[in-house]
A and B are shown apart, each in its own frame.
Chain A
Amino acid sequence: MQKQWGYPLAAIVLSSSLVFTGCGSNESKTTAEVKPEAAQPEQTTAASTSPELEAAIADYHKWVIEQTDLFVKATEGFTQSVKAGDIEEAKKQYAPARMYFERIEPIAESLGDFDPWIDAREGDVPAEEWRGYHRLEKALWEEKSVEGQDKIADQLLQDVKQLRVKVESVEIDPLMLVTGAVELLNEVSSSKVTGEEERYSHTDLYDFAANVQGANEIFKVLQSTVANKDPELAKEIEDRFQELDQALVPYKKEQEYVLYTDLTEPEIKKLSQALDALAEPLSKMGTILGG
């Protein structure tokens, strides 16, 4: 989720409305309030009636459901390990499991309080309400004990299963897609690239990669529409995605990413600038919504 303290960086780097959409701690509310204003009714209607965009949305929805299915499975495995007191196994499962969520985060954020339930970091919510992945992260890495965490684990699995149910019927409109892609990269800019997301496990690069993959999936379903309207823009976005993928290659060994704490400052800067290089043209995808 977009945390409040990560927001000024994103605001400098990225476009305004997208950032403001996510700057509150209560994601769903803010999004709901902003949307009617940002979306010019006649344009959205015109855009959403295009069969091409409808097909794109259907493709994306299918992919979101697949990801959420996998997220449920991975969370089952993770929470079982936590409840079994198998700290080593749980640590191994933690970051890969979270990637499914990070890929579809804008959708989860549009569905109510799932983001704070599943993904809140310490301090994002009142201490007594804190639960979800990051609570268990602290137990695993910082407290080095999962004693008394059964309830948190059970609740997490329940939240994730409920998310799966909601995802089935989620309404996705073209504006959500377009803004969602940039929002995913803003997430990276504001918390992953700064190492603030995974403050105990330092597995920020998993989230980084997953956010980018989520944005890429949105671009893929919209690519032909973007190309029809502005072929140069489509090409530029495609190239920048490839460049960012390449920039991540050195930090991936088989399926594992290196820890954030192993990155040097110049390496972090390079990743951050590669991300900005992608987010800038990606923020122009709104061109397909008319105007």
Chain B
Amino acid sequence: MNMDEQALVLQIQAGDEDAFAKLVYIYKDKIVNYLYQVTGDYQKAVDLSQETFLRVYFKANKYRPIAPFSSWLYAIASNLAKTELKKRWRMSLVSLEDVPPAVEISTPSEEASDSGLIKNLRQALDTLSPRYRIPVVLKDMEGYSQEEIAEIIKRPIGTVKARISRGRNILKKQLDKARTGNVSFQKKEIFDGRF
């Protein structure tokens, strides 16, 4: 673990707000970006990030330096994101049968540009179940190892490997569908409500 961070956490445990402000400064962009990739909503990501840091401050005494501080921080952020997605899923359950999916897949002509592909990828990621989305984002965007992800999401490493693999496969299938112009998939096919 980074010694500076460890010293900062010790200071936070003693109630030092300056140390807390430094920690916020170090991690704010990473956490906001991570939560944005998971929730797909920037404003919600900012709100959840603020809540994440507040929890870090008030629960600092519960932190044990057996794992890197960042893993603990990402675990808090992941739990908040999961709760938010669960809430959103419950709210969408009522109208899921009637309302067409809010997924807009670009046409094949748009795919010629990189932005079209990225748009498809963004939309595919937004429809991916959180149980796959969180490990995939942590692995492929945040650059965490499988062991660290297992630490963050509190699951065995085998489960993490399986979820990353399955999540990538689902994303790949969706992108292939988008490439061929077959956009008939439903949101509920991808996200079954399991977290």
Indicate, yes or no, whether A interacts with B: no
Q: What is the interface of chain B, defined by CB distance below 8 A to chain A?
A: none
Residues of A at the B interface (CB closer than 8 Å) are none
